[in-house]
Chain A
Amino acid sequence: MSVAIAVDPEIELAPYQQIEEQIRAAIQRGDLVPGALLPTVRQLADDLNVAPNTVARAYADLQQEGWVVSEGRRGTRVAERIPTTDKRVRTGVLRETLEHALASLVGRGYSRAEILAELRRLTES
């Protein structure tokens, strides 16, 4: 399965945070399995048209939080034991993901009532 991420320059979140969030969310959803090799900093920076430092910072943060491990020249992999049991991290990821989605949808003109109604419908179905 292809896991795609995007950087939206129009939302307030910094690009490195957007990258972090999306990789974290993909790991949590199970789209990125433990041990999966991530693209190199250079490749991801080229594809997303951001500076290599931006991707390097996102990878460094994810590594610090225990989501990924760096293997030097061999690249960066999803950690074998991801911090899923840490309730604080889980809540933080959920909140950040929702905030990001909310900001993006509000930015596109959806009202909070519309978003809430759709979210309720989705969670109940």
Chain B
Amino acid sequence: MLHWIWAAVFAGLGVFYIFKPGCLCGMPKFRIPDAADRSRIDAVLTRRKEIERIPRYIGLYLSAVSFALAAVAAFTPVQPALLYGILCLEIAIVNAVTYFYLRTAPPKRIAVLAPRSVGSVIPWYWFALAMASALAALTMVSNTAYAISAVVVCVSSLFTIAIAWRLTQLPALLSGDDIATEQLVDDRARRARSSNALVLALVQPFVLCSQVVDGATTDVQLSALYFTLAVFLVYAIWSVYKANAPLPALTAQ
């Protein structure tokens, strides 16, 4: 039964990535009441999309992997937790490829003279908690059946945290046509992308722990489950709150 549930989950993800191939690197939504500001932001988003050129195949690749894992989960005795670990690793790799595309987007040689730090995008303590959460997955190693899965998920989560960190430091992508709007979009995009990566890093150890925990788990493993759940939930709420913070008024062009 568990195999079929996981097969359905993997297949569902496969379908999701077909319809949302850019979900790992997409732009945040901008709720702008002012029509003039909206048209300026739309223009900047269009230009930015042309510059970044993140290929659609990234999402489609993830979709293909998800369908393959669904088939393996449904028709072979391979443990679903291990397949989940493989999916986490694939997502981490896709995140890294996306980062590479963003890092090497054609430079415009324009910069704003304002300092930027990792902490101004995502406070450092979230990275520390995310690392603790990733390492918490290792408490499941004592359960022999899940040992490899726990290590794979931990590595994948740590790798994703590193990418989230790097995403906070992406170079600004400005064309110089409307600096104020471009800077606002750049800041929001940087925060949204690094935040998405961190959410993915946080959900991985929690999902693994929830698979392992049953009547025979130790107190340490149970604590790891609650810890990973708490960090994931609190961060998700914090990131949604930040993403919906009102936009500052745009200055004249």
Q: A7-B109, A9-B109, A32-B113 are in contact. List 5 more A-B contacts (CB 8 A).
A: A6-B108, A6-B110, A8-B109, A39-B112, A39-B113
A37-65 Cβ-contact flags toward B at 8 Å (1 or 0)? 11110011011111000000000000000
Instruction: Name which residue of chain B comes closest to A50, CB basis.
Output: B109
Q: Is B76 among interface residues, defined by CB-CB distance under 8 A?
A: no
Query: Is B22 an interface position by the 8 A CB rule?
Result: no
| A4 in contact (CB, < 8 A) | yes
Partner of B179, one of A2, A40, A47, A48: A2
Count of A-B contacts judged by CB separation below 8 Å: 66
Give the distance to chain B from A125, nearest Cβ to Cβ, in Å.
19
* A44-B109 in contact (CB<8A): no
A-to-B contact residues, CB < 8 Å = 1-9, 23, 26, 32, 36-40, 43-44, 46-50, 75
Q: Which of B107, B110, B116, B180 contacts A5 (CB 8 A)?
A: B110
Q: How many residues of B contact A (CB 8 A)?
A: 19
Chain B, Cβ-Cβ closest to A19: B111
Dominant secondary structure of chain B at its interface with chain A: loop
Provide the residues of chain B in CB contact with A47, threshold 8 Å: 110-112, 171-172, 174
Contact A3:B109 (CB < 8 A) given known A47-B171, A49-B171: no
Minimum C-beta distance from B171 to chain A (A): 4
Q: B180 — which chain A residues lie within 8 A by C-beta?
A: 2
Cβ A49 vs Cβ B113 within 8 A: no
Q: Tell me the bound Cα distance from A36 to B180 in angstroms.
A: 18
Chain B: CB-nearest residue to A8: B109
- Chain A residue nearest to B170 (CB atoms) is A46
Q: Sorted from nearest, which 3 A-B pairs have the closest CB atoms?
A: A47-B111, A49-B107, A46-B171
